[in-house]
Chain A
Amino acid sequence: MREKEFDVVIVGSGAGGGAVAAELGPLAATGARVAVLEWGPKVREQEFTGRELEMANRLYFDRGGVLTRDMSMTMAFGKGYGGSTVVYTGTSLTIPPQVVTRWNVPGLEAEDVLARSEKYLRQNNVHLLEEPLLNDNNRLFREGCRRLGWTVEQFPINVKGCLGAGLCNLGCPNAAKQGTNRVQLPAAERQGVQVVTNCKVERIEESACVVTVRNESFGEPSGWEPGEYRVKAKAIVVAAGAVNSPALLLRSRLPVELPALGCYFTAHPALILVAQHERPITNYSGHPKSFYCDQFAHSKRFLLETCMYFPFTTAKSLAGFGADHSRLMSGMDRLQMILALALDDSRAENRVTIDAAGNAVVDYRLSEPVLDALHEAMKASARIFFAAGAARVHAPAGSNFLIEASERHRIDELIPRSGVKPGKVSIVAAHLMGGCRMGTGRGDSVTDSWGRVHGVPGLYVADASLFPACAEINPYVTIMALADRVAEGVRNDLSAPPASRRAE
């Protein structure tokens, strides 16, 4: 096994790892050895083809369809240089202060998180898209909400030179989205941070990572020769995402008992909902996600967002099959889409574990409150679709495959709660959070409010797994804000004399 030595190793290059890398760039510029170890490859510019299956294979774990253990939900999370920031839509919201207050992490103040979030909004060129660049799919959502008297807000997004390919979730073919692959990682590399791709961290040992480098058939080859390495570091920052960070710590046999490790996983379980208009609308051209409705976030625990997906993803999101299904699919240019997200409670039993081979396994039970929220979201979405002029709506829990506009006054009757059956209704998740939650002690948390793993000096976490409960918004800006704090803590800890370094 070959050996490498660094001052700081960052595991993962998404929103968390990318932010830490950029923040430690100045340290690297003054001579510190900093490396980012990324499991996936750096996809070449010409490899962003926009083809659904091809890009899903290149940019996601399990092609974006990682199953929970009970197979009730699929989870999508990115892999490669930039992690999930390569495949999100770039919607950039700051966390509501009351959510941070509810998290109740001593030492973590909402003001601090918001101030750091603002920094990333500036860094990532976050702004509102101009009116002429909003497509019909988005405008119809806004119109529908307004006609119903519901609040509707525009998403700020982090693009520069967006040409409206509408392929954000397959990796922008125009390099417009300002993910860590475009902003923080290149900045870090310019300052001397080494980013090593195709490098899977197998486990963490005392002040070292054991890694395997294996090149893919696509993307740039790793900067390191294929093989196994032991990578020593004074500080190790785990930012591999809410599934892979807890899994990595679990297979690392840490020298402390951390009963909360892997627990309190949340996911914003979601439905992709579809309606059909009589005539073609603009939907797959232009940015796919411009508006959201949080009217029911508190009362019924769901959010609605605009979205536009691709043929296979759309097809599998519909309940039913056969001629009805084919007819609806046959006119993608007439479809309006809404993403409905349930705001799920954090429960200890929803957790990341590992199997005998050390692979991550997610135990997630769709609770009755979550299914209730998805049911209410389905009915609210149907009302928006009809208010926006849709001819017919597909509700996956509906008693009929389609609800016609003439039946719009019977929505409550035609979408029964009993129809929200896991397995029949396709439930997806892309906002994966928790598993290494922040807190005060080992009993119910994994790290302190600076991402320091309890009882393991030099080991940190810096990604969505830190969230003690769900974020109630699209999480990436908050991930970067927390990672920014972690980087500050790493800098402070490294500059402190060894004897004074914090050890619980």
Chain B
Amino acid sequence: MSVLGERQWRFLFCVASRVVPETRDLGEVERAAFRAIVEEALGERPASLQRQFRLFLGVVRWLPALRYLAPLDRLNDARQDAVLTALQDFPVALVRKGFWGLKSLVFMGFYGRNEAGDRIGYRPSARGNEKLRTAS
């Protein structure tokens, strides 16, 4: 069973598009791979942590309403970034840690895909010393 419902997934993809802007360009297959990675990682964590994560997603979505009278996903890009930056530097450590967990999941989904490395210049080889010799 999925740890997140469809509405939560839509919101997570909204946050992901601010954390790693390239997630907006993912095709259907890549998006499914992203989702499978995040789903698997969340699924392995204890039920209590899964609950905390769902709760935190709700906080991230609705906290901006206190100031902007709208949830995060209804704000423009600049305001979304401002809210996420504020969460990263939030005075309460628990909120900062929650945001770190959220963005780490996004990084895992994006950079953990097997095909991600090639696009960012990361092409390891089992025979790396041969590359070293070529480079020198």
Contact = CB atoms under 8 A, between A and B. Distances in A.
Contacts of A133: 129, 132
Interface string A18-40: 00000000000000000000000
A297 interface: no
A280 interface: yes
Contacts, number: 142
B81 A322 contact: yes
Interface in B83-108: 84, 88-90, 93-101, 103-104, 107-108
A424 interface: yes
A136 to B, nearest CB: 8
A220 to B, nearest CB: 22
A424 B88 contact: yes
SS of A interface (majority): loop
A332 B117 CA distance: 9
A421 interface: yes
Given A311-B111, A326-B20, A332 B121 contact: yes
B93 A422 contact: yes
B18 interface: yes
A162 interface: yes
B129 A322 contact: no
Given A133-B129, A282-B135, A424 B121 contact: no
Chain A's interface size range is 35 or more
Given A311-B116, A322-B21, A165 B107 contact: no
Interface in A150-170: 162-167
Contacts of A285: 124-125, 128-129, 131-132, 135
A316 B107 contact: yes
B32 to A, nearest CB: 15
A321 B132 contact: no
A174 interface: yes
B76 interface: no
B125 A316 contact: no
A321 B84 contact: yes
Interface string B36-57: 0100010010000000000000
17 contacts: A53-B37, A71-B94, A72-B93, A136-B135, A162-B129, A164-B127, A165-B126, A282-B131, A311-B122, A312-B112, A315-B107, A329-B111, A333-B122, A333-B123, A421-B96, A423-B96, A424-B100
Given A167-B124, A423-B96, A424-B89, 14 more contacts: A51-B114, A62-B44, A72-B97, A133-B132, A135-B132, A285-B128, A285-B129, A316-B108, A322-B18, A326-B21, A326-B22, A332-B117, A332-B120, A423-B99
